[in-house]
Every structure is written in C-alpha cells, then in structure tokens.
Structure 1
Amino acid sequence: MNDFLSLFRGRKDVFAVRWEKASKSGYMPSYQYDPYHYRSHKMNGGTFANYPHKTYLPLTDYEIQKHLNGIQQIGVYPLLQDNTSWFLVADFDKQNWKEEAVAFLNSCKERSIPAYLERSRSGNGGHVWIFFDKPYPAIRSRKVFISILEQSGAFSMFDKSSSFDRLFPNQDFLSGKGLGNLIALPFFKLAMENGNSCFVNPETFEPYSDQWQFLNEIKRISIEVLDKFFQEISTTQNRPINVASCGSPKSQNGKLSITLQQNIRIQRDGLSTPLINFLKEELNFANSEFIIKKKMGKKTFGTERFFK
C-alpha cells in the first residue's frame, strides 16, 4: 500500500468515484452530507447540485482500500492547489493506441526518462505514467512532454487520427472554478481480473506477474532533470525564424519559397496540381477554441480539433 500511496499522489482533500446508471457512466467528487437533511432539501425542489450543506470527502487509506478491493473505483485530481503535480500521464485511446504509446515510451527511454504503461480499465486504451521525485509545475511538465510526444510522432497538431487524447494534468493552472481533470487510479480489482487497470509489458502487452513488486521498482525523474528539458525546449522554441522577404514568395531554381507572417503564404506556381489538391483537402489547422477548452478542462464534445 505504501508504494501505491507514494506514487499516485493527487489532492488529498477530495477524490472522485465512478458511477453507472443505465447506459451512462462517469465520475463525480465524493461528498459527505446529512442524508436526512438532503432529503428535506430535495422534497422542497432542491437538487444535489445546489445543496449547500455538502463537503468534499477526503482521500484516506480506507477509501483507497475500497478501490483496491473492487468496492468503488476512484479517480484522483493530479493538479494540486499550487498548480504542480507529482506525476504526468499521457492518455491513448484509439485503435492504434498500442503503437503510439510505445513510440512515446521509446522517446522517453531515449532521453533516460522512466515511463510506464498501464492498460486502462476498459482495455481499449493505455496510460503512460511518468512520476516525479517532487511536485513540479504543470505548465512546465506539460510543455516538456507535449514536445516529446510531437518528436516521437505519437502526436501532431495536424493529425486527426492520432490515438493520443490528452495529458493529465490537463491544465496548466486551476481556473479557480473547479478541480481540474481527474484520472482513474489503476489496480481496480474488478478490472484487474480481466488484465486491465494494471501495468503491462510494452513488448508483449501482457500484465506483469507481480504488480506490487513492479510498483516497488518504479523510478522517478528528478525535477532538476525536468528543468533541463524545459530550458532546452524553451530555448529551441524561442529561436527567431528566418522568413522570406515580405513581398510575394517566388519559386526560384526549383525551390519553393514560403513566407511566414501572420499567415502562411505559398507561391502557387511552385506547386504541382496534385500537391495543390492535396493541400486543399488534407491540410489541417488546429482549432484554437478546442485548445482553449481543453486547457481549461471544459467539455470538448462537438468542438472540432481541426479545421481546413
């Protein structure tokens, strides 16, 4: 239990539990309240959402044990109140999640970053966990690992088919109006019995035979190393871009000239007809509305990630 508690650290003053009703399911914060008082509130037309006499139930060893025993499934809120976290998780959840999760794992390995793959509760996706030796600012860790994801080929702002879904924490800062996104804890007994909600070998995707021993062997990356990665990435991204002159770009000597200003200008006569048609149909641009919603932890359903 101690290894589990030391690794999967989120907020202690609140946690979430998974609920299911008919064909719907989700997570909600766990509360403590007087059921008799709430019943009176409900009889007078009130709802649980506007019931004022409820408080968050703190995360205790007892609640964790119920999760491990399969009585309730818990989600933790990784973003602490000072906007740091003890870990970062990359979530992959489409058909090709295995290939892209492994690509990300390999990129981490090349940089000597310890990273570990958990198969999700459903078995249809995976979480790559990176643990820190101390709480680290989410705005920095997210920038570091988004860069590594892009370099690994597991994620691109222009790739609609990527299985990468999001990072946890999913925000750089708490908005002050919510708790941020939660992530389900692994080792939920009922899912583990099906080979899910546990850590797997990325070469075979078979669960490790002794999950508790595996936890004992997990390594954490130091925040000093994370700072070095952050500084390297910031330096690279802040380098000035040499752009063509402000006039119309021209194709000279068989080379295509592209001007980067507030927009991207490509000289049409430097492109072949098939390439022009490809760019018209396939070139995607990130939808800033989607990015803003995701950073703020708001629902993105119905908001396109890309537009042409």
Structure 2
Amino acid sequence: MEFLNGTFRGSTYQTFESVTDEIISRHLDAKVNRTIGIYPMLQDETCWFLAMDFDKQNWQQDAAAVMETCKEWLISASLERSRSGNGGHIWLFFSQPVEASIARKLGSAILTKTMERRYQISLESYDRLFPNQDTLPKGGFGNLIALPLQGIPRREGNSLFVDEAFRPYDDQWRYLSGVEKLSLDRVQSIIYELTKGGSPFGIHSWNDQEVDESPWIQTESNDHSSVISDSLPSQVNVVISNMIYIEKKALPPTFIHRIQSLAVFQNPDFYKTQAMRLPTYGKPRVIGCYEDFVQYIAIPRGCFEMMDLMKTHQIEAVISEDVIQGIQ
C-alpha cells in the first residue's frame, strides 16, 4: 500500500513524496494493483473526515443501522463497501479541519444513539473509528485507512460507495459531488443533540485523565436515573446465578441499552497508552462485561445498581435464585 505524502515509517530518515496525478491514477487504474492509504490526523491533531469501520459477519446490518440513525438525525454520511467486500466504512466529511477528539465524539455519539435503537450492535465498533485516537502517537502518524475507488476491487463492486440496498452508485463522482460536508458548528450541534449535553457513550464522562478527582460523585453523564419515555412493563423476571439475568421480554431497546451500560467501563490501559502518545490500536476505549442471550441480558453480580434503575422506572423485579450453595 502506498501512503499519501509517500511516508515510509521503517526508517530513521523519512522521505515525503508529493501526491501527483500519476499516483492518483495508479490508485484508480483497474490494471494496476496499487492502493493509496491516508493518515486522517494532521500534525495539529485535526482531521477532514471521520470513518467508521465495520468488518464482522453482520457488518451490513450494523452499518445499515448506523446509516438509519444518520438519516433520522439529518447527518450526511456515505457508506462504502470495503476492498474485500466483507466489510464497510461509513464516511463523514467536514468542511473544515475538526479536532480529532471532537470527530471521535461525533462517531461515538452516533453509535450510542444507534445502540439505543438497536442494542445488539457490538461495543467493539467504538474503536473502529478513524482517526483511531484523539492525539498523535509519539513518533507516528496514527492509523492508516485505504481510500475508496481502488481500481481492481471496483471490478468486483467493492471499494465503492453504495446506497441503502448496498448497490453501488452508477456515477461515483456525481454522488460524491453532492455529499454535504459538515461544519464544525454542525458537528458540535449534532453531538449535543444526540447526547443532550451528556457523554457520547451514555456512560461516564469523556475524561481522559487516569483518575477522576472525585470518582464517588455521580455526574450527569454517568447518571442512569434519567427516565426513559418508552413503554415499559410493570414486572421483569430476574434470575441471580453466576450473573444477573434480566428477561428481555417486553423491554424496549433503550432500556436494554441502559442495563448494558451498567456493565461497561472505560479502559484505563487505553488512556494510559494515549497519554504516552503511543498507538492505541487493539486497545478498546471501553470494555463491556455483559452478555446478550436470546431471552436474557446478563450483567455481573456486582451490578445491583440495576435495582435502582428498575425502581426509578417503577418496574417490579421478580427475583429468583439459581445458585449452588457451598458446604456449610
């Protein structure tokens, strides 16, 4: 893979090659196996776009769900089928350089809103954002993403922008020319609208420091007591075993997502690595300790804050125990 600016990272002395029409032509040429990749983050830690990466088995369903969220909130987003055809990227383009941290908040807010509507989306998607970190790693350029419209994959219908039915647009250039670019004001407005001033994750604050000054004080962004407006059942069956199993029957996705968030926490290793300006690839920003079954959502036994959540929404928890008693 070639790099924009010709960056070669395996040498003490780096050389930079200008992007020319010839280099771009090789990327677009279906007879030449060449791909241009780009490091999204600039030296001042801003970026011109945000890309969300989906590459699991159910990538189409997850990407479609995110695109539905973008459509609902009038957010201009473009879906590209990846070079392999087994994944996709959702691109959001900016009209001006936006701080990487703000761009990532935008992506996280969109994913969180999608999870409220469709809680099955994987938490791992949070760390498939490009840029992949808020700050430039020490001595590096961040994470590389391949640009769309690579010549050879295009022959198979890949590396192309697609519509809601995953059909490539007939004229890619005409499609791209009509894509709206988001201004900084619009980005900040979307983040606020999606989060209501709280956290893009719906859990904890966006605090990159290793330790909060007063972690025992609950803030607006990690308060699970805000009332959900969706219709809720009067009773929910809860089984206490190796984990706490909450029956999902009649529970709306927004409430299930709220239960999930009780078992999600920020990964201290991610923030320690980021603070040292080292690559954070493969280190999730957040860690989820819940399990999703067909009939139940399971959270660790220590998450009894779940009872407060039930009480706030006037739901009676019908508790039964299925545990093995130890020898007396």
TM range (shorter): 0.5 to 0.7
Deviates more, 1:220-229 or 1:78-87: 220-229
- Find the aligned partners of 1:206 and 1:164 in 2 and give their Cα distance: 26
Supply the AA of the counterpart residue of 2:149: F
Supply the AA of the counterpart residue of 1:298: T
Supply the AA of the counterpart residue of 1:300: G
Q: Name the CA shift for 1:153/1:296 in 2 (closer, same or farther; >3 Å).
A: farther
How many residues are treated as equivalent by the alignment? 242
Q: Name the residue aligned to 2:29.
A: 69
Instruction: State the SS of the aligned residue for 1:129.
Output: strand
Q: Name the CA shift for 1:28/1:181 in 2 (closer, same or farther; >3 Å).
A: same
The offset of 1:93, in angstroms, is 0.9
Instruction: State the SS of the aligned residue for 1:224.
Output: helix
Preserved contact between residue 100 and residue 154 of structure 1 (Cα < 8 Å): no
Structure 2 unpaired stretches of 5+? 204-214, 223-235, 247-259, 290-299, 301-328
The offset of 1:147, in angstroms, is 1.3
Q: How does 1:224-235 map to 2 (within 5 A)?
A: 224-232=185-193, 233=195, 235=197
Q: Name the residue aligned to 2:102.
A: 140
The offset of 1:30, in angstroms, is 3.8
The offset of 1:303, in angstroms, is 11
Q: Name the CA shift for 1:155/1:124 in 2 (closer, same or farther; >3 Å).
A: farther
Q: How does 1:214-253 map to 2 (within 5 A)?
A: 214-232=175-193, 233=195, 235-237=197-199
1:300 to 279, 282, 288: 282
Return the TM-score normalized by structure 1: 0.65
Q: Name the residue aligned to 1:255.
A: none
Q: Name the CA shift for 1:157/1:205 in 2 (closer, same or farther; >3 Å).
A: closer
Instruction: State the SS of the aligned residue for 1:63.
Output: helix
- Find the aligned partners of 2:116 and 2:279 in 1 and give their Cα distance: 22
Q: Name the CA shift for 1:306/1:165 in 2 (closer, same or farther; >3 Å).
A: same
- Find the aligned partners of 2:38 and 2:63 in 1 and give their Cα distance: 22
Q: Deviations over 1:240-265 (max 9, x none)?
A: x9xxxxxxxxxxxxxxxxxx94899x
- Find the aligned partners of 1:155 and 1:164 in 2 and give their Cα distance: 16
Instruction: State the SS of the aligned residue for 1:55.
Output: coil
- Find the aligned partners of 1:88 and 1:153 in 2 and give their Cα distance: 19
- Find the aligned partners of 1:28 and 1:185 in 2 and give their Cα distance: 10
- Find the aligned partners of 2:278 and 2:162 in 1 and give their Cα distance: 31
The offset of 1:115, in angstroms, is 0.6
The offset of 1:191, in angstroms, is 0.4
Q: Name the residue aligned to 2:48.
A: 86
Preserved contact between residue 121 and residue 191 of structure 1 (Cα < 8 Å): yes
Q: Name the residue aligned to 1:274.
A: 239
The offset of 1:133, in angstroms, is 1.0
Return the TM-score normalized by structure 2: 0.61
- Find the aligned partners of 1:116 and 1:136 in 2 and give their Cα distance: 18
Q: Deviations over 1:198-218 (max 9, x none)?
A: 01112x211111212212222
Q: Name the residue aligned to 1:189.
A: 151
Q: Name the residue aligned to 2:168.
A: 207
Q: Name the residue aligned to 2:254.
A: none
Supply the AA of the counterpart residue of 2:17: L
CA-based RMSD of the aligned residues comes to 4.0
- Find the aligned partners of 1:105 and 1:304 in 2 and give their Cα distance: 22
Would you say 1:175 and 2:137 are equivalent positions? Answer: yes
Percent of aligned pairs sharing the same letter? 36
Q: Name the CA shift for 1:196/1:159 in 2 (closer, same or farther; >3 Å).
A: closer
- Find the aligned partners of 1:301 and 1:290 in 2 and give their Cα distance: 8
Would you say 1:131 and 2:110 are equivalent positions? Answer: no
- Find the aligned partners of 1:154 and 1:123 in 2 and give their Cα distance: 28
Q: Name the CA shift for 1:53/1:99 in 2 (closer, same or farther; >3 Å).
A: closer
